[in-house]
Amino acid sequence: MKNFDLKLSNLDELFPSNFTQEQMAKAKTVFLKRLALNAHKFYNGKMQTVPKAPVPGFNWFNVWYTPGVSAVSTSIRAQNDASYELSNRGNLVAVLSDSTRVLGDGDCTPPGGLGVMEGKAFLMKYLGGVDAIALCVDSKDESGQNSPEKIIEFGKMAQHSFGAINLEDIAQPNCYKVLDDLTEMCDIPVWHDDAQGTACVTLAGLINALKLVDKKIDDVKIVYYGAGASNTSIARICNAAGADPQKSIMFDSKGALSINREDIKNDPRFYRKWELCQTTNPDCIENIEEAMQNADVLIALSRPGPDEVKKKWIASMAEKPIVFVCSNPIPEIYPYAAKEAGAYIVATGRGDFPNQVNNSLGFPGILKGALLVRARKITDNMAIAAAESLAKFAEDRGINPENITATMDEAGVFPHEAADVAMQAQKDGVARIKMSWQEAYDKADADIKHARKLIHALTDQEFISKPPQEIIEEAVKFTIDELSK
């Protein structure tokens, strides 16, 4: 049997060298999905609960539990904020979902979201030094419809066990109401990663891309293709960061957003989209081909491709066009095709292409920063501060058209981002405690290093087994067989 690289550092080497670029891209997608199934079955998921306190002797159970722990309960009763010091609450996030919009797979039923929510918890721990728990809930009401009120009530009731709530994979329009209502009702940060997280990392990439093409954010024409929770939030955050909404046009599945869209106006559930209808596309352009003429930036989060975005659209854009095609698992157009059409910078949501716009760069550091100062909310200013932090970190180490953002393997980006977010939380008046930038950085850095050291130690000592070669071999064989059909 071939000795496969367990790090999977170069997926191209797994497949025949005569594969075309399109075949190779498809092969990687099929392989990663098959390997995910194999690996999750082998490990029975990827998260477990491990104590962080020792057991020097059995009398310590009287300390960790009754009768000693009574003093902890009464202390917290007297002052609820003591829960941040006397329990793990201050470093614990609820990953809350009803699994109605899981990645690009739609409604997967409540337990169907566990793979993604556990994955979110895994990344929070390894990248941000944050503990997290997957909470997949049934949001259906008596009529069988998914009800935002049920998620809101659950989050409101559960908030006292957590330092923050990360909303995930909740279909629109429910996601807007869930985020906005829980943000107002809860005394802890509520973060919607599909929306705010994607907006943050996209803005970070856009900041550096604009530097490379020597354009200003308030001058550029932006076309948004797709109007789900992610892209509507991207537009909102980009506008807050200086983009001119009058120079922007957004498209959904029914056409361009504008004040002429009575269907959106008359559906109060889509109030976020109606806000964009009123502020963008003042000329009421309806055709995507016309909108793309001389556009500086295309930001697409719509349907998986590879031919959702047309080469002729890109060819009609302004000089040195910037193209974000971030649908997963397959971008709206493959990067090589976008480059052939004239794109100067291309970003996707995938790590096997240059310029991955990945939420994993954002939420570990953002949530860590919010937790460090015990923030009550995550403001738009905090999201923008995180984006600017990511962009600055990448710029300081050097950027180019094939490398506009930091990557997950640059461990220093996360404490840097956490510290910048913590400072902005204090400026915005939503922090319970104060600390300096260096104090926030040092704490985040120590927690992240501890988390990584723990995971590696458990692996080295074989409490976590390494993935067997067989599951990689089977995934490679399955992929080649699938592509040969």
pLDDT in tens, 50-70: 999 999 999 999 999 999 999
Q: Give the Cα-Cα-Cα angle 409, 115, 154 (nearest 5 degrees).
A: 110
Residue 228, Cβ density class (10 Å: 0-12 exposed, 13-18 middle, ≥19 buried): buried
The count of other CB atoms within 10 Å of the CB of residue 57 is: 7
- Amino acid identity at 328: N
Q: Would residue 65 show up in a list of annotated catalytic residues for this protein?
A: yes
Q: Would residue 43 show up in a list of annotated catalytic residues for this protein?
A: no
User: By C-alpha distance, which of 319, 215, 300 is closest to 249?
Assistant: 300
Q: For the chain, first and last CA: distance in Å?
A: 24
Tell me if the bond preceding 415 is cis, omega within 30° of 0: no
pLDDT score of 29:
87
Q: How confident is the model at residue 352 (pLDDT cuts 50, 70, 90)?
A: confident
Q: Is 287 helix (H, G, I), strand (E, B) or coil?
A: coil
Q: Is 44 helix (H, G, I), strand (E, B) or coil?
A: coil
Question: Model-level pTM greater than 0.85?
Answer: yes
Q: Calculate mean pLDDT across residues 425-445.
A: 98
Q: Is the pLDDT of residue 351 over 90?
A: no
- Helices 413-427 and 437-460 sit at what angle, rounded to 10 degrees? 140
Q: Calculate mean pLDDT across residues 148-158.
A: 98
Tell me the H-state helices in 4-55.
21-43
86 in Cβ contact with 80 (< 8 Å): no
Q: Is the pLDDT of residue 37 over 60?
A: yes
| 295/114 Cα distance (integer angstroms) | 40
Catalytic residue among 26, 28, 84, 120: 120
Specify the length of the chain in residues: 485
CA torsion through residues 275, 189, 450, 445, sign: positive
What mean pLDDT, rounded, does the chain reach? 96
pLDDT score of 3:
80
Q: Is the pLDDT of residue 210 over 90?
A: yes
437 in Cβ contact with 116 (< 8 Å): no
- Residue 434 CB partners (closer than 8 Å, separation 6+): 373, 426
Q: Is the pLDDT of residue 455 over 80?
A: yes
Q: How confident is the model at residue 350 (pLDDT cuts 50, 70, 90)?
A: confident
pLDDT score of 329:
79
pLDDT score of 300:
98
Strand partners, 252: 255
pLDDT score of 334:
93
The domains found in the chain, sorted by start residue, are: 1-40+436-485 (no CATH), 58-188 (3.40.50.10380), 196-348 (3.40.50.720)
Q: How confident is the model at residue 213 (pLDDT cuts 50, 70, 90)?
A: very high
pLDDT score of 289:
97
391 in Cβ contact with 416 (< 8 Å): no
Q: Is the pLDDT of residue 80 over 70?
A: yes
Specify the pairing of strand 248-252 against strand 255-256. antiparallel
The tokens for 37 are 């199934």
- Residue 60 CB partners (closer than 8 Å, separation 6+): 54
pLDDT score of 1:
55
Q: Is 450 helix (H, G, I), strand (E, B) or coil?
A: helix
What percentage of residues in the chain have a pLDDT greater than 70? Answer: 100
Tell me if the bond preceding 148 is cis, omega within 30° of 0: no
130 in Cβ contact with 367 (< 8 Å): yes
Residue 483, Cβ density class (10 Å: 0-12 exposed, 13-18 middle, ≥19 buried): middle
**Chain centre distance of CA 463:** 29
What percentage of residues in the chain have a pLDDT greater than 90? Answer: 91
Write the DSSP string, 221-262. Answer: -EEEE--SHHHHHHHHHHHHTT--GGGEEEEETTEE-STT-H
The per-residue pLDDT for range 382-408, each reduced to its tens digit, is 999 999 999 999 999 999 999 999 999
pLDDT score of 344:
98
Write the DSSP string, 95-150. Answer: EEE--SS-TTS----GGGGHHHHHHHHHHHHHHH--EEEEEE---B-TTS-B-HHH
pLDDT score of 462:
95
Q: Is the pLDDT of residue 282 over 90?
A: yes
Question: Picking from 1-10, 177-186, 229-238, 416-425, which range would have the lowest pLDDT averaged per residue?
Answer: 1-10
Catalytic residue among 41, 46, 65, 427: 65
User: By C-alpha distance, which of 417, 360, 367, 357 is closest to 392?
Assistant: 417
The per-residue pLDDT for range 90-109, each reduced to its tens digit, is 999 999 999 999 987 899 99
Q: Calculate mean pLDDT across residues 294-320.
A: 96
Q: Is the pLDDT of residue 418 over 60?
A: yes
